[in-house]
Amino acid sequence: MSSSLNKAGTAVEAGEGVWPVRRRRILDWLVNETRGERFIDNILVEMCEKLLASGVPVARATLHFRMNHPQWIGARILWKEGLAEAKINTFAYGIENTPEFLKSPVNAIHQGAEEVRKQLEDTADDEDSFYQELRDDGLTEYIAWPVEHTFGKRHVATFSTSRPGGFTNEHVDFLRDLLPALTLVSEIRLKNIMARTLLQTYVGPHASEQILSGVTTRGSGATVGAAIMICDLRDFTEISDLWPRDDVIHLLNDYFDAMSDPIERYGGEILKFMGDGLLAIFPLSKDTACHDLLQAIREGQALMAQLNQQYAGSGREPLRYGVGVHVGDVMYGNIGSRRRLDFTVIGPAVNVASRLETLTKEVKRPVLLSRAFVEMADCAKDMDSLGTFPLRGLGEPVDVFAFPER
């Protein structure tokens, strides 16, 4: 089919109007030319720039996604005309019950609406603060549509304009026709994000990167040097027998928050939660690994002290715990059956840390460290030397140190 140039210099296929040609070009770009872009926020920005270049007067656009995340129920990607990058906001659980969300157009879409369209110029007396905010930004019309992913997952796309009179019918048809391609493109990126988020949630950031990069066969992994920390809650069996189930779960979450947040803040990686215990490593590839581990323990102890003060106020016994610390080479990788793998660390160094954690019950000190760790951390002057102890299953006795008693 031959083509000609319109007044703007844009090629127009013979027998076609301007809008179908421009729309097809953006659709072709969405389907065929975004494969190398990992992030949906970058795609949204480029799509909006292409819309403006095609004559669709978009001044604001958003994508709202529900997420599988332990902290966030959803996220909003926001683009405004003139922004080189989109802004991403996350929303905590509970926002779905607020009055602002319940009367929002996003909630209307989630409740089944197929379109929410608001002429902003004609409703200056509207008391809705959301629409008033759009008016204050100089916008004249707002449209929201559902973005339907597989298995009934409904998300939301919105477009706004500052054009006097709002969008024309051609503009609206143009935008609506992009939704199927935008749905496809966004679902792929969202699933990538969800896969990464879920892996990070359940196996930690470093292990998740290893798995996503293809380290998925049994026995695959590497030997790494690491400072190892094993922590365990005392008297948990008795607590779980006597306390109501929901109280036990709440207690465990409080305890893990107190011990885990400092570990992650100082660059440690929690490889697993084991009932009422956890296993974490600080790779020695970072020069400050041993110092970071000590700081994480100190802050964890401070948070546990605060938690026990709260428990004392409600008449509960304080929580006690034991921590064993060692340093050495560990095998870091996939171990398990043919179909069920665990990304973890094993080796004699892990066994020493585990035995030291058990020894805390005998010596009545909450944190025990091996001489090997203390020497590498150069912290002997700050610790109490408790002597040499034989550890079950290990050939040589181990010199043991403890945090000073206060």
Task: Report DSSP letters for 84-153, one per residue.
Answer: SS-EEEEEETTGGGSHHHHTSHHHHHHTT-S-EEEESTT-TT---HHHHHHHHTT--EEEEEEEE-GGG-
Residue 280: CB atoms within 10 Å: 24
Residue 242 has pLDDT above 50, yes or no: yes
Whole-number Å distance between alpha carbons of 389 and 350: 17
Residue 234 has pLDDT above 80, yes or no: yes
Task: Give the per-residue pLDDT at 188.
Answer: 87
Whole-number Å distance between alpha carbons of 331 and 346: 5
pLDDT category, 126, cuts 50, 70, 90? low
The helix or strand, by DSSP H or E, that contains position 74, with its residue range, turns out to be: strand 72-80
Better-predicted residue by pLDDT, 306 or 199: 306
Better-predicted residue by pLDDT, 127 or 349: 349
Tell if the pTM clears 0.75, that is, is over it: no
Task: Give the per-residue pLDDT at 194.
Answer: 67
Residue 17 has pLDDT above 70, yes or no: no
Whole-number Å distance between alpha carbons of 296 and 260: 8
Contact 333, 222 (CB under 8 A): yes
pLDDT tens-place string over residues 157-215: 999 999 999 999 999 999 999 999 999 999 888 877 766 766 777 777 777 777 766 66
Least confident of 7-21, 98-112, 217-231: 7-21
Mean pLDDT of 265-277: 89
The single-letter code of the amino acid at 18 is V
The single-letter code of the amino acid at 164 is P
Task: Give the per-residue pLDDT at 264.
Answer: 92
Task: Give the per-residue pLDDT at 80.
Answer: 95
pLDDT over 70, % of the chain = 91
Better-predicted residue by pLDDT, 341 or 121: 121
Better-predicted residue by pLDDT, 241 or 172: 172
Whole-number Å distance between alpha carbons of 335 and 271: 13
Whole-number Å distance between alpha carbons of 352 and 338: 28
Residue 33 has pLDDT above 50, yes or no: yes
